[in-house]
Chains A and B, each alone.
Chain A
Amino acid sequence: MEPRAVTAPSPAALWRPRWRYEPAHLALYAALLLVVGVLVVLPIASVLRGALVDSGGFTLAHVVRFFYTPLYLESLRNSLYAGLGATLLASLLALPPAFLLGRYQFRGQALLVTWLTVPLVIPPFVGAIGLNQALGRAGALTLFLEDRLGVQFVAAEGLRGVILAHALHYFPFILLTVTNALANVDPSLEEAATVAGARGVRLLWRVTLPLVAPAYAAGAILVFVRSTDDLGTPLILNVKNMLGPQAYFRITTIAREDPDGYAISIVMLALALVAVLLATRLGQRREVATLQTGARAAGRPLRGWGPRLLLALSVLVGFLGLLPHLGVVLMSVSRVWSLTYLPTGYTLDHYAEILFRAPQFVVNTLLYSATAAGVAVAVAVGIAYLQHRGRVPAPGLLDFAATAPIAVPGVVLGIGFLRVFDRWTVPWLGVPLTALWLIFPMLYVARRLPYAVRATSAAMAQVHPTLEEAAAVCGARRWRTFRRVVLPLVLGGAVAAGVLVFVTAAVEFDATVLLISRVEQSPLSYGIYLYAQSPRGRGAAAALGTVAVVLVAAGTYLANRIGGRRPALTW
């Protein structure tokens, strides 16, 4: 093969250069800009406006007041504390198994990986319900500690509960990135250090750890930002003095136009933005030390007490990670479970409640999520196509706007949606747009578009332009080429992304809760919250939670089957 510096035209240089831009592409571009503009840009802009503009024009007064209000400062402190605590605890949980999995080779390794990633299928606010049953004030393990050991310690309560729920849900983020980084470290880098005289702990400290540090940091930042952003878990555990709950309460109970709510939003937005930018930069640095050729270091066998200790720790982490699941599932079939280790009676009544007596939660969720997934995939395919082949001005603009929500906390996007679409009156019906169920699919499209666009764009990047040229030469017009060549090749990635949009939409809570106007319209996630408010409803909440877990597990499995390889990490 010869290099083609001069002769290779860019793929966009195909056909009809008499016009710089392609009319059909421009039309699609305009339509997509409108969709992304309305769903993403308007709500975010509206939040910024709410915080930074008042009758006198631009002002920083609201943001400044945030830092002089003790309640908000305490909330900020608590959110940061929860984020750091969750990150620290998640690291403690993740690092021993990560080291074991990245460095050693043993039977049952794949099984252990699967087991340790199971926590991802339970949304943290659902997990909180299960944790409460296991480690809450009247939890089984709490009682056990008190009865048998005389220790009074409630692990899952207040901020501590939030930290525990987040750590147990998010530690696989760190586990997977670090395992991957360890397995991908070019063995010759360590070999070179060994030849130079470093071994044992010094090798680990001076070479190996610095090499995987960026990967660890990226995973840890993700845990931190998800944990500080969260609204559902604190609400379920009745923790109010955090940023998410404060923003939610200001907007929903004080006033829709209360500037303090928007000031809190802006602080959350800034935190998330900094974290995401940092993680992105670290992600770029990570590439340097990893190997492209797939020549991995052979894993070492498990010998000696060190690795055995790691294995024991990993199994312990595996059991801890299952606590929320066990708690939720058991709760969902318990008739009475109070002040005993295990339920004192079993029943399927809670499932009858949520499937037959009040089926709207599940039905709504399926409808909203499926709609959102379909729309998100269609929009993502359009954006990915224009990004790679579009003969339009600034094709990157669309992609940028569509991926922006990745740095927007759910509460903030929900507030933005409320502020914008509450004022939009639907023609003929004469009600605000927020009164229609369509607002939920719209919200989920906006929230999950980044993931759909990334996955689809990655699939599109794999389609070599000559595949389309070959079709054109064979007699296929542009649309036929798209339908017969491009679409089938991109569809696998797009559908996998769609399934993930579906499952993440199905358990979305933070933004959903802001847009609930009528219970009949509410999806499963809000149903869980609603039931969990009363002690008698906890069984039904757990049953809904179990449905959510099953949906997420099935969807994640399906997405991995369709999309291949990559572990599906999303919310």
Chain B
Amino acid sequence: METVSTERVLAVEVELDRLTKRFGATAAVYGLSLSVGRGEFCTLLGPSGCGKTTTLRIVAGLVEPDDGRVLFDGKDVTRLPPWDRNLGMVFQNYALWPHMTVFDNVAFGLVERRVPKAEVRRRVAEALDKVGLTGMEGRFPSQLSGGQQQRVALARALVVRPGLLLLDEPFSNLDAKLRVQMRAELARLQRDLGITTLYVTHDQEEALVLSDRIAVLDSGRLVQAGTPRELYENPRDVFVADFLGGANLLPGMVVRRGAAEVEVQAGEARVAAPVEGEAAPGQPVWLSVRPEHLELSVGDAGDLRGTVLATDYLGWTLQAEVALADGTRLQVRGLDPSTPLRPGQTVGLRVRSGRARVFPRRN
């Protein structure tokens, strides 16, 4: 009688409306608005202390905002306690109850919802099957590996068929290899269930791989939200450009204004970049170029000339740090590993056409 489709329709639409939360004098979250569509995987991304976890806890009902509203499907749930929000949540430390077996951990939410025993058994088995832990029901959390604990936490969050899944840096305690594997499994589960998901991380790669949409936070404020591609290709400001993907920043000045682009003089380089809004000639700007958008050639041909400071050989690729004559240091990535580079060598750098971005710079 149960069909997969009944699980899919539970997903809610989330709207955060000008949330503010202060701890003492510091505002952990300030005027944050964001909407997450039904079934969407949205990531809150930012450095530590940016307010992403606090935002997630506000959505969970664990922290009450000083100001603003949280809406599920248009209904105001700001004052609703966590137990009435029908959520699934995975904590950074998993928060598995050490005195309960895997079965009891997963069954907890069902017991609280007064689900009949037979159905509890069936749904726990189903949830454990989904995360590949069948047969582990009788174990205690202390008898599981980190990856297995992570799966139990995920099963516990999903078994109640929540309208919204919240994950707070769930993979930060796993080693690199396992993290990649769990990431793929989470993506698959989330797609299969079609569940609205709010995910917190400071790992840009995780955010890019998993998300339908990313919201970048800084100092409690939302800086930019969009698809991974939008954010990577058209970051709104220096912070987003640098935090997501990394950026070399060169101080420059607008020398010519076109219809949708400007020409910028930065040091000895003259580079064209797309622009919206105001950018009159003479205005100081940052010229932002991603490390993989710099072409390097041995010799002194190119827009910029510099000296190799150091090289990192990674087997499949090579990256280098180059110092310009004025001391600015640039990162260069994605070089052919067979390029013969030595520290001290003079090289020329060229910005790939159409890849540079400009951002306002205040003197």
Contact = CB atoms under 8 A, between A and B. Distances in A.
Contact of A484 (B52, B62, B92, B108): B108
Interface string A1-38: 11111111100011111100000000000000000000
B146 to A, nearest CB: 13
Given A2-B202, A16-B64, A475 B160 contact: yes
A464 interface: yes
Nearest to B112: A475
B99 A471 contact: no
- Per DSSP, chain A at the interface is loop
Contacts of B83: 472-477
Interface string B82-112: 1101111101110111110000000011001
Interface centre among B26, B83, B85, B173 (most CB of A within 10 A): B83
B123 to A, nearest CB: 13
B49 A473 contact: no
Interface residues of B, number: 43
Nearest to B111: A484
B28 interface: yes
Interface string B52-82: 1110010011111000000000000000011
Nearest to A10: B23
Contacts of B48: 2-5, 7
B290 interface: no
A473 B60 contact: yes
A18 B64 contact: yes
A517 to B, nearest CB: 45
A6 B97 contact: no
A475 B109 contact: yes
Contacts of B89: 469-470, 473
B348 interface: no
A49 B82 CA distance: 51
A553 interface: no
Contacts of A5: 48-49
A276 interface: no
A238 to B, nearest CB: 52
A469 B61 CA distance: 10
B243 to A, nearest CB: 14
Given A467-B95, A475-B109, A489-B98, A1 B28 contact: no
Contacts of B60: 469, 473
B284 to A, nearest CB: 32
B213 interface: no
A18 B28 CA distance: 18
Interface in A443-492: 464, 466-467, 469-477, 480, 484-485, 488-489
Given A14-B63, A469-B62, A473-B88, 18 more contacts: A1-B169, A7-B50, A7-B53, A15-B82, A466-B92, A469-B60, A469-B91, A470-B89, A472-B62, A473-B82, A473-B83, A473-B166, A474-B108, A475-B83, A475-B86, A475-B112, A488-B99, A489-B97
10 contacts: A1-B92, A4-B48, A6-B49, A15-B62, A466-B95, A469-B62, A471-B108, A472-B81, A475-B86, A488-B99
Interface of A: 1-9, 13-18, 464, 466-467, 469-477, 480, 484-485, 488-489
Interface of B: 23, 26, 28, 48-54, 57, 60-64, 81-83, 85-89, 91-93, 95-99, 108-109, 112-113, 156, 160, 166, 169, 172-173, 202
